[in-house]
Structure 1
Amino acid sequence: MNHFQPIRYRQVHLDFHTSEQIKGIGKDFDEDQFIACLQQAHVDTVNVFAMCHHGWSYFDTKVGKPHPHLETNLLPRMLDACKQHDIEAPIYITVGFNELSAREHPEWIAIAPEGDDRYGPPPVDDNQAPRPTGFDGWHMLCLNTPYLQYLLDYTREVMDKFQPVGIFYDIVGEYPCVCSYCRASLKEMGLDENNPEHRMQLAKKVYLNYLRKTSELIWSLNPQTRLYHNCCTEKMGEKQYYPYYSHYDIESLPTGGWGYDYFTSMVRYIRKQDFLYLGMTGKFHKSWGEFGGFKNPAALKYECQQMLAFGARICIGDQLHPSGRMDEETYRIIGEAYEGIEAKQQWCEDAESVAEIAILSANALVGAEDSRTSDMGAYMMLEEGHYLFDIIDDTMDFSAYRIVVLPDSIRVSEALQRKLKDYLAGGGKLILSAESGLRLDRAEFALDIGADFMGKSEWDIDYTLVTDRLGNSLVRSPFLNYESGYRVRVSKADLLAAAYKPYFNRTYAHFCSHLHAPAEGDAGYPAVIRHGNVIYIAQPLFRMYRNHGMQLYRDLFLSCVKQLLPAPTVTTNLPSAGKINLTRLATGNDHVLHLLYAVPILRGDTQVIEDVPTLSDISVSIQLPDGINQIKLLPEMTEVPYLTDEHGYTSFTCKVAGHQMILLQS
């Protein structure tokens, strides 16, 4: 991957999905106004459009069709203007959505399996068509049809005409399809078109074939062209697709359905891969295609700071007006965010994040949506506890971490069993919950946890009563678990918390009060046990925290972490909504600590950030291998007084106004 040119830090993705029912396309485009907006906003890269979701092109194409009301050769003018002012301009090509191709070749439309309507409505007469809302108006095209060859021919034309620095393909992924082409392929492969697993098998094959053919074409013409496939179905662990990327783009508009946790969870996995990555947010109040929507400038600024803090380049989504005139207010707001990024980015270039805990991703190993929920619960607890951590899969090096967490549903193969045993033998520590740690093929533990597996509890809910061994921060009454645990019989493990049973499960025949029966007494199985360097939690604690948010679940888990890691690298009194990241600079032994704080709140159906308060007297205690000789606030280079104790921990205080970078010099 090293032969690709480095990605710049301050990008804009300039959507231009423009209906054929609008006239005067590009009539007001002016190079000077275009460049002035980008420069005012401190933008160094802009994605510009060759072909949009409506299927129209914005240049004199021979393969596709120019927009019927295009009044200027828009794409070449944009490219020439950017080149003159040293602004990079990758080219956007739609893939999955293409309304023009859907109308001209309805046989290319992907047909979703019965009950799955995400691919858009069937083709209908315009007079009968319902009003589209969101993506409901688009038709998904199947890449197992001649549409793929059309896409390849179009890509070749774009490469030959423009020699772009990059290609951005959009709306791709693993889409099970039962169009006539896919049904024929399933039959040829000896697979059953009625079997969802067989349909997914073909979907993966079709997607991989698309990736291979497009990537081979582009890199045969120019091996240095950057290439990204914006996948709508990808999850952690699908590394078979990574050779076809030059970099990774984490699309995550917090107000557009992704939420404020998506980027900072996904980035902890992507940063472990062998390519550069960027985060993508939007200038919209909500999401793509929102003309006249403006995100609060404080929110946009924070989102950019967050991406920078976690090692990402930044891309902000916008949509150009059909006239071709840039919205100057949009670029004023973007400029307020990017001005600060430009001042700080030099301390983030090639910096490596430091982590001492890893979450072994259940989503990467299991793939079900419940597993993603468990991953997110573990991520939320560690982030709110201000630990340094990564999210990894089972191919990565466990020995780099002091603790590895297996959330809720990770059954253990023989290969993973060997890896976990080697990790424990080398001094590693594990936290397991619910089904995690059980053998893949049978209901027994793959590791010695000091207890035997006895099956699922018969109760709908149960309760946890902690012992003194978990410290004094938890309540000393039985607290509710919204899902009951798994029964284990202790042989040699230490009891950290007991499980209590309800009087009965709630049924029509017997119930108590509004929700569930109170605790009756000991359930006969533990809630939390420890055996050596392994802690086992019987309940699906991480899924419960993600779904229900009870702070006691986080307190319980963090007490377990403290049992195994009494002296973490960093501690801070930053509130739980704050985030931290520690990076090691590319040269020397210096580090940068990033402190972030903002609180998203729900307004209507949208999470917004409006007020970013300045926090005073935020205390930090940190221990680095080579010690600390000087501390400075960035980018001002203001020195910070500090104290170092006999254990090598350096303590200081600072203010945090959204984002604070602290240079730690050894």
Structure 2
Amino acid sequence: MKQLCSRQVHLDFHTSENIPGIGARFDPQDFANTVKEAHVNSMTVFARCHHGWLYYPSERFPELVHPHLEYKNLLLDQVRALHKKGINAPVYITVQWDYHSASTHPEWLIRKKDGSHEGGPFTEPGFYQSLCVNTSYWEFLKAHTAEVCELLGDELDGIFFDIVGIRPCWCASCRAEMKKLGIDAADDMAVRRFAKFVMDRFKREMSEVVHKYKKDCTIFYNAGHIGPCTKESRDAYSHFELESLASGAWGYLHFPITARYARTLGKDCMGMTGKFHTEWGDFHSLKNLAALEFECFRMLSYGFAASIGDQLEPNGTLGKAAYRLIGNVFGQMEEREEWARPSKALVEAAVLTNEDPNYEQQLSDSLMGASQMLEELAIQFDVIDSEMDFSAYPLLFLLDDFVVTESVRKKLDGYVKQGGRIIACAKGGLSEENKYPSCFGTEYCGETKQYPDFIVAAGALAAGLEPENEYVIYQQGVSLDPTAGKTILTARAPYFKREGDCFCSHRYTPSAKGAAYPAAVKNGNVILFSHPLFGQYRSNAPFWCKKLVSNAIDCLLPTRLVRHNGPSTMTVSLLDQEDKGRAAVHILSYIPVRKSATIDIVEERTVLHNVTLKLELPKAFSSARLVPENIPLPMENGSVTIPEINGYAIVELS
């Protein structure tokens, strides 16, 4: 597998036809020097933008060259200037958003079921009127891409195709093909599946077009998320770039989920954030240094390359302050990346995602809650789908709403029979026929009628909670009937459900102190909770939900890869570098804070002292040191104590 350049800038250049002097102040040498000084070794530059304009002297489409492009050879000279400094320069081509094409080719527009086009009105600002690649627009895209490949020749490093999403379409071309294939255009889900088929076909065919010109160039198709929606078309990609601007629509929880899934697909990965305080198009802003450090160092802690989004100003000059900021972060990455790339994540568990492969970025509350909770517990886990191999993981987590097919139900039974362990919550593992796998030793008896109800803190699962206290679970659970399994945690019901004119106090009715019923059942290597603990944690993070899950993990997996005495805000990632005979422990201590109404803010590093790691790794290591500082650390019985962690620390084990 060819490894990506590790420190990239994604240089947006979506530039209006209403702005004069495009590229007028572009200086190739100053441009490349600025990039080089910022420790950047790859920069994505633009062939065509969302406004629909080209930034090179096109012979096939001269009418699409930006009308005010003063620096005529902008794209080619950007590439050559970067190459002179040893910097890669993949090329950006927009796909589904192109304002000029949308305005002049209505036959290319994606149509909704009622015939209207996707995206906002043309009378309002924005280039979000999406185009359908199943129309003659495909011929234009092929010709345009071929021209870019011919223009650059051997100088072509790669192509980044943007806005390549699964968008159901009822245009004339799509309706005709659906009719030919016997697809009911009135069936929304059938149309969505067809849209995915069309997009997967587009990716395969476009990669064939590019590879005719250069076999080894990189190719990536961006839809803002990598997940089960990507798996079927992964052979069309050379690698994955995980767009995840935490200060934008994605938030800080998105990246860990998509990263833990993407790394299972067998390709090199790159995370992508931005230098912007908010997100794309926020020209005159700078992200806090600590936030950019956290986002890039987190990518590195997964063994990924990093990409930082910027936007070139219309006159063709780079913002010096932005590249001082980027250079500050990338300089630190350059010193540390040898302990991350290449590497393989050391894992002990997997979360089975409930994402539908026909949708992008369909992250449920239970998936986000599970990811947050397990990160806080320092569990080393992947996110996988139900078609993947379970046997590589000692422990599986089934989300609150993870409904399974009959084949997956049997697969789970086989996994447990071979020694696998499962922790499931509420409807996790339930089939459409409302049956749990036989390995659960439990029958489903419907949803609880009275809730919120209250778990009783008694037994092994309640270790660390106040003994015999009743802890509320706010969300509705399910009723369980243990058959072969044993009840290991109980709950009690309220006097009545709060509804209509039957209520008590401000929020919910308290416990009636009545008969207890199963809140968790253990059957061999399976623990099933009756409540949606992961979704509940996403909703308002009760510490007792995390404690219940942590104790369940200890019941099934007493030996964890890593435990620590640091705060729950500290994250730990274990990377194996077998070829170098070592492992690396990446520790991050940055705390996003909701200081504003819209985005989380990281303003400073959080310094920690005397953090002890207790490691139980598959291989024995006898020495430890902080790198790149080269500070030896005493190691005794698998325990390492780090005197100080200032935001980011890497412990090399050898």
Which TM-score bucket, shorter chain as reference? over 0.9
User: Which segment is superposed worse, 541-550 or 16-25?
Assistant: 541-550
Aligned letter for 1:144? N
Deviation of residue 567 (structure 1)? 2.2
Counterpart CA distance in 2 for 1:270 and 1:466 is: 38
Counterpart CA distance in 1 for 2:511 and 2:201 is: 56
Counterpart CA distance in 2 for 1:467 and 1:13 is: 54
Aligned letter for 1:465? V
What aligned pairs does 1:16-165 form with structure 2 within 5 A after superposition? 16-64=13-61, 65-72=64-71, 73-113=73-113, 119-123=118-122, 129-130=123-124, 132=125, 136-163=126-153, 164-165=156-157
Counterpart CA distance in 2 for 1:652 and 1:623 is: 15
Contact conserved, 1:285 with 1:294, CA < 8 A, in 2?
A: yes
In structure 2, the partner of 1:576 is 568
Cα separation, partners in 2 of 1:638 and 1:44, compared to 1, 3 Å: same
In structure 1, the partner of 2:614 is 621
What aligned pairs does 1:121-520 form with structure 2 within 5 A after superposition? 121-123=120-122, 129-130=123-124, 132=125, 136-163=126-153, 164-232=156-224, 235-236=227-228, 238-363=230-355, 372-440=364-432, 442-475=433-466, 476-520=468-512
Aligned letter for 2:178? L
Cα separation, partners in 2 of 1:576 and 1:439, compared to 1, 3 Å: same
Counterpart CA distance in 1 for 2:492 and 2:465 is: 16
**Deviation by residue 1:262-283 (Cα, 9 ceiling, x = unmatched):** 1122111111111100000000
**Deviation by residue 1:50-109 (Cα, 9 ceiling, x = unmatched):** 000000000011233110000012111101111211110000001111011111112211
Identity among equivalent pairs (%): 34
- Identify which of 627, 631, 653 aligns with 1:638: 631
Counterpart CA distance in 2 for 1:653 and 1:26 is: 50
Determine whether 1:663 maps to 2:627. no
- What SS does the aligned partner of 2:409 have? helix
Counterpart CA distance in 1 for 2:129 and 2:440 is: 52
Contact conserved, 2:451 with 2:493, CA < 8 A, in 1?
A: no
Determine whether 1:14 maps to 2:5. no
Contact conserved, 2:227 with 2:261, CA < 8 A, in 1?
A: no
Aligned letter for 2:148? V
- What SS does the aligned partner of 1:400 have? coil
Cα separation, partners in 2 of 1:370 and 1:42, compared to 1, 3 Å: closer
- What SS does the aligned partner of 1:157 have? helix
Aligned letter for 1:296? N
User: Which segment is superposed worse, 259-268 or 16-25?
Assistant: 259-268
**Deviation by residue 1:25-51 (Cα, 9 ceiling, x = unmatched):** 000000121012101110000000000
TM-score with structure 1 setting the length: 0.93
Counterpart CA distance in 2 for 1:607 and 1:116 is: 36
**Number of aligned residue pairs:** 647
Counterpart CA distance in 1 for 2:360 and 2:476 is: 20
**Deviation by residue 1:549-587 (Cα, 9 ceiling, x = unmatched):** 222211111111111122212110121111111111141
- What SS does the aligned partner of 1:498 have? strand
Contact conserved, 2:571 with 2:589, CA < 8 A, in 1?
A: yes
Counterpart CA distance in 2 for 1:415 and 1:365 is: 17
**Deviation by residue 1:598-626 (Cα, 9 ceiling, x = unmatched):** 10011221211002122111111112333
- What SS does the aligned partner of 1:610 have? coil
Counterpart CA distance in 2 for 1:368 and 1:249 is: 15
Cα separation, partners in 2 of 1:469 and 1:414, compared to 1, 3 Å: same
User: Which segment is superposed worse, 448-457 or 68-77?
Assistant: 448-457
TM-score with structure 2 setting the length: 0.95
Counterpart CA distance in 2 for 1:312 and 1:145 is: 36
Cα separation, partners in 2 of 1:541 and 1:523, compared to 1, 3 Å: farther
Deviation of residue 539 (structure 1)? 1.2
- What SS does the aligned partner of 1:380 have? helix
Contact conserved, 1:53 with 1:94, CA < 8 A, in 2?
A: yes
Aligned letter for 2:34? C
- What SS does the aligned partner of 1:377 have? helix
Cα separation, partners in 2 of 1:116 and 1:499, compared to 1, 3 Å: farther
- What SS does the aligned partner of 2:292 have? helix
Contact conserved, 1:371 with 1:408, CA < 8 A, in 2?
A: no
Counterpart CA distance in 2 for 1:88 and 1:595 is: 30
Aligned letter for 1:409? D
Aligned letter for 2:88? E
- What SS does the aligned partner of 2:169 have? coil
**Deviation by residue 1:107-142 (Cα, 9 ceiling, x = unmatched):** 21112345998x32243xxxxx23x3xxx5421111
Counterpart CA distance in 2 for 1:366 and 1:420 is: 23
In structure 1, the partner of 2:533 is 541
**Deviation by residue 1:148-193 (Cα, 9 ceiling, x = unmatched):** 1100110011111113110000011110122233333333333333
Aligned letter for 2:299? M
In structure 1, the partner of 2:641 is 652
**Deviation by residue 1:449-476 (Cα, 9 ceiling, x = unmatched):** 2322212222343222232222431233
Contact conserved, 2:230 with 2:357, CA < 8 A, in 1?
A: no
Cα separation, partners in 2 of 1:264 and 1:109, compared to 1, 3 Å: same
User: Which segment is superposed worse, 171-180 or 44-53?
Assistant: 171-180
Cα separation, partners in 2 of 1:368 and 1:458, compared to 1, 3 Å: farther
Aligned letter for 2:196? K
Contact conserved, 1:366 with 1:409, CA < 8 A, in 2?
A: no
Cα separation, partners in 2 of 1:526 and 1:586, compared to 1, 3 Å: same
Cα separation, partners in 2 of 1:215 and 1:69, compared to 1, 3 Å: same
Contact conserved, 1:17 with 1:53, CA < 8 A, in 2?
A: yes
Deviation of residue 439 (structure 1)? 2.9
Deviation of residue 545 (structure 1)? 1.1
Deviation of residue 366 (structure 1)? 9.9
Counterpart CA distance in 1 for 2:463 and 2:37 is: 54
- What SS does the aligned partner of 2:391 have? helix
Aligned letter for 1:87? I
User: Which segment is superposed worse, 471-480 or 358-367?
Assistant: 358-367
- What SS does the aligned partner of 2:440 have? coil
Aligned letter for 2:488? L
Deviation of residue 385 (structure 1)? 0.7
Contact conserved, 1:365 with 1:410, CA < 8 A, in 2?
A: no
Contact conserved, 2:451 with 2:497, CA < 8 A, in 1?
A: yes
User: Which segment is superposed worse, 558-567 or 389-398?
Assistant: 389-398
Counterpart CA distance in 1 for 2:652 and 2:478 is: 46
User: Which segment is superposed worse, 151-160 or 408-417?
Assistant: 408-417
In structure 2, the partner of 1:126 is none
Counterpart CA distance in 2 for 1:472 and 1:96 is: 53
Cα separation, partners in 2 of 1:46 and 1:565, compared to 1, 3 Å: same
Structure 2 residues not aligned, in runs of 5+? none
- What SS does the aligned partner of 1:362 have? coil
Deviation of residue 522 (structure 1)? 4.3
Contact conserved, 1:412 with 1:446, CA < 8 A, in 2?
A: no
Cα separation, partners in 2 of 1:332 and 1:588, compared to 1, 3 Å: closer
